[in-house]
Amino acid sequence: MDDWIALTIDTSTEAVEAVANFLLEAGAEGVQIDDSADYAHEVITATGEWLDPNTIPHRQAGAAVSGYFAPQTHLEELRQNLAAKVAQLASFGLDPGAGTITVADIATKNWANEWKKYYHPLRLTRFLTVVPDWSDYQPAQSGELIIRLDPEMAFGTGSHPTTALMVQLLETYIRGGEQMIDVGTGSGILAIAARMLGAAQVLATDVDDIAVANAEANLALNPVDHITVVANDLLNGIDTQADIVCANILAEVLLPLIPQVPSVLAPGGVCLLAGIYEDKADAIKAALAAVNLTVVEERRSGDWVALAAKVVAP
Ligand SMILES: C[S@@+](CC[C@H](N)C(=O)[O-])C[C@H]1O[C@@H](n2cnc3c(N)ncnc32)[C@H](O)[C@@H]1O
């Protein structure tokens, strides 16, 4: 059999999700992400051993996203199509990084499993650890909650700082028994985390059908119920009340979402937003203020900002 084609785009950490989507939309059978940011966290091995990321050989800056394509792919057309999309990243406020595209034939029979070596159990917070579903990792201490994920297709393995910020906010604002709406659920990671932390019910939505399917597959890997996943754009057509509305999406999507939040937010509820690149934070705060939502907490990780906002009585 002919070799598979691996097409690798050098980019920045913040553009990893968009570039992976470009490759999947272009027909990649799978994607592999090699992101220097993944090594900013401690890594735990399958046997529960803590590893200093500096002891593992890894890229020091930026990220590379590889897509695997069937041998008969029209390579030049594909390369040009992807180069055009990479050139548009800056107009979405994303740093394209080097933006170079390299092509390699790979004889690896089993590329579909190759990428898995890049995913390790990841200690997200004191209480939550994200574990790839093929790992036999067991909790290293009492009280440690395990989220099992197959991170193959959708965004949300926990390794991105925006996801980690949002999980920290969920730990702060979930007291138990809340109704929650998770807009842009991706892998479903936030919905699963919320249920494990005590939320009563989660409505998880995503505009991308692949994400909806991946979130449903991930729910099945975890001992969680009372999570409904639906394909939906923003909060369009949703009229249930929620104590928590969370969304980890780029500012361009949060801006039209924010005016929809008050109509679903129950009295005393909180709106949690992540995915905000720091130069967009002021615009997001202004959009919140315009609908009477006051920022009550701000968290940062690198260049990323996450906000909690509530209706505060005058
Ligand atoms: C950055 S990912 C977040 C995934 C996960 N919630 C997390 O925190 O790791 C953003 C998700 O929002 C989804 N999304 C983008 N635009 C959307 C929209 N207009 N309505 C609903 N979901 C959207 C994307 O498909 C993607 O899965």
Q: Is 249 near ligand 1, meaning CB less than 6 Å away?
A: yes
> How far away, in angstroms, is 296 Cα from ligand 1 center?
23
Give Cα separations from 1 to 59, 106, 108, 133 (angstroms): 32, 11, 11, 30
Going from the N-terminus, what domains does the chain have, and what CATH number goes with each?
4-115 (3.30.70.120), 152-310 (3.40.50.150)
72 CB-near residues (< 8 Å, 6+ apart): 2
- Long-range CB pairs of 102-108 (<8 Å, 24+ gap) are 102/7, 102/8, 102/10, 103/5, 103/6, 103/7, 103/8, 103/75, 103/79, 104/5, 104/6, 104/8, 105/3, 105/4, 105/5, 105/6, 106/3, 106/4, 106/5, 106/6, 106/68, 107/3, 108/4
Phi and psi at residue 286, in whole multiples of 5°?
-65, -40
Which tokens is 199 given?
């939320």
Q: Is 4 near ligand 1, meaning CB less than 6 Å away?
A: no
28 CB-near residues (< 8 Å, 6+ apart): 7, 67, 68, 69
pLDDT (mean) for 53-74? 77
Q: Is 30 near ligand 1, meaning CB less than 6 Å away?
A: no
> Is residue 65 within 8 Å of 23, Cβ to Cβ?
yes
Q: Is 211 near ligand 1, meaning CB less than 6 Å away?
A: yes
Q: Is 222 near ligand 1, meaning CB less than 6 Å away?
A: no
Output the known binding site: 163, 184, 206, 248
User: What would the pLDDT profile of 155-213 be if each residue is shown by its tens digit?
Assistant: 667 777 888 899 999 999 999 999 999 999 999 999 999 999 999 999 999 998 888 99
User: What would the pLDDT profile of 278-312 be if each residue is shown by its tens digit?
Assistant: 899 999 999 999 999 999 999 998 888 999 999 98
> How far away, in angstroms, is 183 Cα from ligand 1 center?
7
Mutate to test the pocket of ligand 1, among 165, 212, 230, 253 (most ligand atoms within 8 A of CB): 253
Could you write out the DSSP letters of every residue in 81-101? HHHHHHHTGGGGT---TT--E
User: What would the pLDDT profile of 200-255 be if each residue is shown by its tens digit?
Assistant: 999 999 998 888 998 999 999 999 999 999 999 999 999 999 999 999 998 999 99
Higher pLDDT, 117 or 5: 5
Q: What is the dihedral of CA 173, 310, 291, 242, to 10 degrees?
A: 50
pLDDT at position 46 is: 43
> How far away, in angstroms, is 205 Cα from ligand 1 center?
8
pLDDT at position 260 is: 98
pLDDT (mean) for 52-56? 62
User: What would the pLDDT profile of 252-274 be if each residue is shown by its tens digit?
Assistant: 999 999 999 999 999 999 999 99
Q: What is the distance between the alpha carbons of residues 115 and 124, in angstroms, rounded to a whole number? A: 21
Q: Is 155 near ligand 1, meaning CB less than 6 Å away?
A: yes
Output the known binding site for S-adenosyl-L-methionine: 163, 184, 206, 248
Which tokens is 232 given?
């939906």
Instruction: Choose the weakest-confidence range: 23-27, 36-40, 132-136, 202-206.
Output: 36-40
CA-nearest residue for atom 17, ligand 1, is 207
What is the residue-averaged pLDDT of the chain? 86
Phi and psi at residue 90, in whole multiples of 5°?
-60, -35
- Ligand 1 atom at minimum distance from 191 CA: 6
Q: Is 147 near ligand 1, meaning CB less than 6 Å away?
A: no
CA triplet 218, 160, 307: central angle to 5 degrees?
100
> How far away, in angstroms, is 125 Cα from ligand 1 center?
21
Instruction: Choose the weakest-confidence range: 59-73, 93-107, 187-201.
Output: 59-73
Burial class of 115 by CB neighbour count within 10 A (0 to 12, 13 to 18, 19+): middle
What length does the chain have? 314
Q: What is the distance between the alpha carbons of residues 260 and 254, in angstroms, rounded to a whole number? A: 10
pLDDT at position 109 is: 45
